[in-house]
Amino acid sequence: MRSIREREVEQGAAVVAPRADAGYTLTEVLVSIVLMSIAVIPIMLAGIVSIRTSSQTRIAAKVETVLANAADRVNRAGEGCTYDVYVQSAVLAQGWRDDQYAVTYQYFEPAASPVDPGTWHTGACPGSQRPEGLVQKVTITVMSPDTKIHRTIVVVKSDV
């Protein structure tokens, strides 16, 4: 009994010897690289975006913590005309520079009649001394070290 190969040789058919390890062609390698790139690049980009977002969220949380700390210090401070030192101490306690905050003041002047609205004036106090019954709006703004994130809060101070 003859094998199929032997019969093909007798009939004059060209016989190609089987290659033991043919390997991959350049085209196959390039196609596989392109397919892997299509899958891997979006995953890498998603990771980069996630890291950036996490970093910005962490910085924003620090800014809000400093802002809340500053507002708490101003709120607990005794009545005075200015409260910059309390805000500055909250910023410095975080280890940040003292130019990363701003404080603005307004004070309320009531109208002569109780049915008329009063007016808000720019400034900390109407004079050099704090008058009795003064109502102030202390606006505190804190910015991140890279100055990309700003947060603001308003604290109302009153001895009424």
Q: Could you read off the pLDDT of 80-129 as tens digits, one per residue?
A: 889 999 999 999 999 999 899 999 999 999 888 888 899 999 999 988 78
Establish if 130 belongs to a structural domain: yes
Contacts 24+ apart (CB under 8 A), 88-97: 90/66, 91/66, 91/142, 93/66, 93/69, 94/62, 94/65, 94/66, 94/69, 96/66, 96/145, 97/145
Among 50, 31, 66, CA closest to 149? 66
Average pLDDT across the chain, whole number: 88
Average pLDDT of the segment spanning 131-135: 89
Residue 126 lies in a domain: yes
What is the span of the domain harbouring residue 140?
81-160
Q: Answer yes or no: is 115 within a domain.
A: yes
Looking at the domain assignment, is residue 116 inside a domain? yes
| Plot region of 12 (φ>0 → left; ψ -120 to 50 → alpha; else → beta) | left
Quote the number of domains for the chain. Answer: 1
Based on its alpha-carbon atoms, the radius of gyration of the chain, rounded to whole angstroms, reads 38
Specify the pLDDT at position 98.
87
Number of H helices, E strands in the chain: 3, 4
**Which pLDDT value is given to residue 19?**
61
CB-CB contact of 158 with 141 (8 Å): no
Predicted confidence at residue 2, as pLDDT, reads: 65
- How many C-beta atoms lie closer than 10 Å to residue 125's C-beta? 16
Q: Does residue 7 carry a pLDDT above 80?
A: no
Domain presence at residue 42? no
Residue 22: predicted pLDDT: 73
4 in a structural domain: no
Q: Is residue 157 part of a domain?
A: yes
**Statement: residue 13 has pLDDT above 60:** no
Question: Does some domain include residue 94?
Answer: yes
